Amino acid sequence: MVAPLPDGIATPALVVDPEILDRNISRMAEASRDRGFALRPHAKSHKSAQIADRQLRAGARGLTVATISEAEAFVRAGVDDLFIAYPVWLDAGKAQRLRRLADDVALRVGVESAEGARRLGNAVGGSARPVEVLVEIDSGTQRTGVPPHAAGEVAKTAADVGLEVIGVFTFPGHGYGHDAQARVRAARDEERALDEAAQALRELRLDVRVVSGGSTPTAGQWQPGAVNELRPGVYVFNDATQLAIGTCQVEDLALVAAATVISVPAPDRFVLDVGSKVLGTDRSPWVTGHGYLPRFPEAAITGLWEHHAVVRLPEGARGPRLGDVLAVVPNHICTPVNLVDELLVVRDGEVVDRWPVTARGTNT
Amino acid sequence: MVAPLPDGIATPALVVDPEILDRNISRMAEASRDRGFALRPHAKSHKSAQIADRQLRAGARGLTVATISEAEAFVRAGVDDLFIAYPVWLDAGKAQRLRRLADDVALRVGVESAEGARRLGNAVGGSARPVEVLVEIDSGTQRTGVPPHAAGEVAKTAADVGLEVIGVFTFPGHGYGHDAQARVRAARDEERALDEAAQALRELRLDVRVVSGGSTPTAGQWQPGAVNELRPGVYVFNDATQLAIGTCQVEDLALVAAATVISVPAPDRFVLDVGSKVLGTDRSPWVTGHGYLPRFPEAAITGLWEHHAVVRLPEGARGPRLGDVLAVVPNHICTPVNLVDELLVVRDGEVVDRWPVTARGTNT
């Protein structure tokens, strides 16, 4: 946990502890190496060139991103190996932008429909470097992705239009569960779905080099052999959801929002100057409020407006004073990072650096 | 409703219909004029210099903002009369910034504690123009603000440190209710609380010039006489929450997110390329999902990730095709506007202008 918070910063602000950050990055890099996974972290969780650089230096193979503009932002920052893990739908403008990226860097793109594959083939056929394609599989989240048995059909269309199909990927969103068993089950679903889909591609005599899975919760649960690439995002910082489901401890929290007590209307209630425009309103079923307060672990943020967090204390608890600056751990870190221009890097209570949010708002 | 959507824009994008926008702006301006209220719209809902300009030209007295940096952004854009309707807590940095604003423009600031008033007095005592102060009252929302009977104490401290106390304000957040009766009750609470607080100030022989209330839902419910200033925000665009609680109609929706169908995994389900990083995750109890789809009014966005909206259709309904571009009305407009760099202004299916989100991310 970032402590102590620095004096004199304008709140609300997002504050990063670089030692915890580096420890989280190393730990995931080492675990991946030990278990034989290529690590390709999802950069949507930090959107920061400085943090991407730390991940790559620790041994990440490249970055994962969600959109073409997120890829463009990291290419401008010097990253040269990117996977857009998203079934990008290409109109004329996006086709041109994707083609330009493919000319510049090593690029992988997701597909999950025959029509999507055809558009991709039209866009990047003949680019300076071949774009590599991964078929997205639904392993139980019911978001995008084809069922494992349908992977072959999409892969065949992609190969027929001249794309280089190198594997399959999935996102096990249903792995966010309160108990470890749910995460194990999601990891098993993920392995089974990816394995069946990879088999379908091999039957087409495709060379399946990449079998890629998500996520911070399921990362530790895989059995050797089934999956060979890992795309976690949140692990760099962790957040109140990871804390609630038990995939991290308080000492692994590398980012907090610093907020000032602006009102103490009652002994059991106070108000912070941080709201949904910094914390976001994501709220999984496993958290107790709109963020976690390490100094008041029994308190809950019961009301959140754009610039107010109303905190309720348990009866008899002693609250903070007007003007106190407190740390709030966001529920879901991917949202707050996208709501600020910079992250304050704090060591021993001093702001030692400011990292711009390089890929802020890259939605298209 | 913005229709038709333009071809060839990169989705997701926020699209504004300037005719509906102007109609919403005029209607609120006229209603305020007719009923004798000064209109001071809350700019947090649009954060746009172009829209602020339209509100001021339609007769708004000035703007309301939530933070010092939001005020700074609008001052840079030429606005010269601002109310920071927030109990700003001034450390040395914020004190200096507020003082600079006070030297440049007509400035009003909220207070709700004696200590907050003292800090404000230290910061702006002797500024070129006097800063005017309004005491924040809690009219039932249980956020910030003192009970009406305690307004005098705060006002007295403020006056004693040399601030010019000109009135009282409140935000009736509990006025967001499904039935019109809840809104009427919240408006009555608001009037009663403001009236009692104003009376407390008058007993101190303060000249109560401003009695200021919120909000798009309660704006139409006041009785003449009690309140003399109105600070609605959302009315410029409206949103799915206002539609659900009945304070606007579909034809009053001036902003939608344009999104592309990227996946049709089942006959009753499709996926759009818009997610929480454009729509936000605000979800009041009155809406049925994460946004409203005018082309599929019976559908619901049942799943929202950062870049995916999963839409469920009722049984037997005919869904869209891959690549179709659909309009999504956000649940709460103040969040999406803060998540993009620009608003596309669309007339008759053509992008006729692009308005930057002038005050994006101004949180401090």
pLDDT at B219: 73
Domain boundary among B207, B237, B267: B237
| A contacts of B359 (beta carbons < 8 Å) | none
In a shared domain, residues A164 and A227: yes
Q: Six-digit token pair at B101?
A: 């604003």
C-beta atoms of A306 and B91 within 8 A? no
Half-sphere exposure of B144 (CA within 13 A, CB side): 29
Mean pLDDT of chain B: 94
Distance from chain centroid for Cα A337: 11
User: How do B13-16 and B342-347 pair as beta strands?
Assistant: parallel
Flag whether B3 is in a domain.
Answer: no
Q: Six-digit token pair at A30?
A: 């080492």
Q: A61, A82 in Cβ contact below 8 A?
A: no
Q: Six-digit token pair at B343?
A: 């608003």
pLDDT at A176: 67
- ipTM, two decimals, is 0.96
Distance of alpha carbon A170 from alpha carbon A195, whole angstroms = 11
In a shared domain, residues B62 and B202: yes
Q: A107, A129 in Cβ contact below 8 A?
A: yes
Percent above pLDDT 70 for chain B: 99
B274-295: pLDDT as tens digits? 999 999 999 988 898 999 999 9
Flag whether A269 is in a domain.
Answer: yes
In a shared domain, residues B74 and B191: yes
Flag whether B81 is in a domain.
Answer: yes
In a shared domain, residues B71 and B185: yes
- pTM for the model stands at 0.96
In a shared domain, residues B217 and B317: no
Mean pLDDT calculated for residue range B212-233: 83
pLDDT range class, residue B320, cuts 50, 70, 90: very high
pLDDT range class, residue B325, cuts 50, 70, 90: very high
In a shared domain, residues A232 and A292: no
pLDDT at A129: 84
Flag whether B166 is in a domain.
Answer: yes
B104-150: pLDDT as tens digits? 999 999 999 999 999 999 999 777 788 999 999 999 999 999 999 99
In a shared domain, residues B219 and B289: no
Which range has highest mean pLDDT (A124-128, B186-190, B243-247)? B243-247
Domain boundary among B168, B202, B237: B237
Domain of residue B111, CATH code: 3.20.20.10
C-beta atoms of A144 and B263 within 8 A? yes
Flag whether A34 is in a domain.
Answer: yes
Flag whether B97 is in a domain.
Answer: yes
From residue A324, give the alpha-carbon distance in Å to each of A8, A48, A319, B304. 11, 29, 10, 35
Which of A68, A277, A335 to mutate to probe the B interface, most B CBs <10 Å? A277
Q: Select from B214, B221, B222 the least CA-distant residue to B180.
A: B221
Distance from chain centroid for Cα A280: 15
In a shared domain, residues A225 and A262: no
Distance of alpha carbon A80 from alpha carbon B364, whole angstroms = 35
Q: Six-digit token pair at B220?
A: 């139409």
Flag whether B72 is in a domain.
Answer: yes
In a shared domain, residues B179 and B316: no
Mean pLDDT of chain A: 94
Domain that holds residue B117: 18-237
In a shared domain, residues B251 and B205: no
* Backbone phi and psi for residue B325, each to the nearest 5 degrees, phi listed first: -105, 125
Q: B64, B115 in Cβ contact below 8 A?
A: no
Tell whether the model's pLDDT for residue A75 goes beyond 80. Answer: yes
The total number of structural domains that make up chain A: 2
Pick from B89, B144, B308: CB nearest A308 = B144
Q: Select from B255, B28, B284, B281 the least CA-distant residue to B178.
A: B284
Interface residue A284 vs chain B (CB under 8 A): no
A224-281: pLDDT as tens digits? 778 999 999 999 999 999 999 889 999 999 999 999 999 999 999 999 999 999 999 9
* Backbone phi and psi for residue A98, each to the nearest 5 degrees, phi listed first: -65, -40
C-beta atoms of A142 and B308 within 8 A? no
pLDDT range class, residue B324, cuts 50, 70, 90: very high
* Residue B348 distance to chain A (closest CA, Å): 21
In a shared domain, residues B156 and B92: yes
More confident residue, A180 or B84: B84
Flag whether A205 is in a domain.
Answer: yes
Domain of residue A269, CATH code: 2.40.37.20
Tell whether the model's pLDDT for residue A177 goes beyond 70. Answer: no
Lowest-confidence segment of A255-269, B160-174, B262-276 by average pLDDT: B160-174
Interface residue A178 vs chain B (CB under 8 A): no
From residue A61, give the alpha-carbon distance in Å to each of A52, A191, A236, A294. 11, 21, 16, 34
Tabulate helix, strand, coil % of chain A (nearest 5): 35, 25, 40
C-beta atoms of A12 and B364 within 8 A? yes
In a shared domain, residues B203 and B319: no
Domain boundary among A236, A255, A276: A236
Give the largest CA-CA distance in chain B: 70
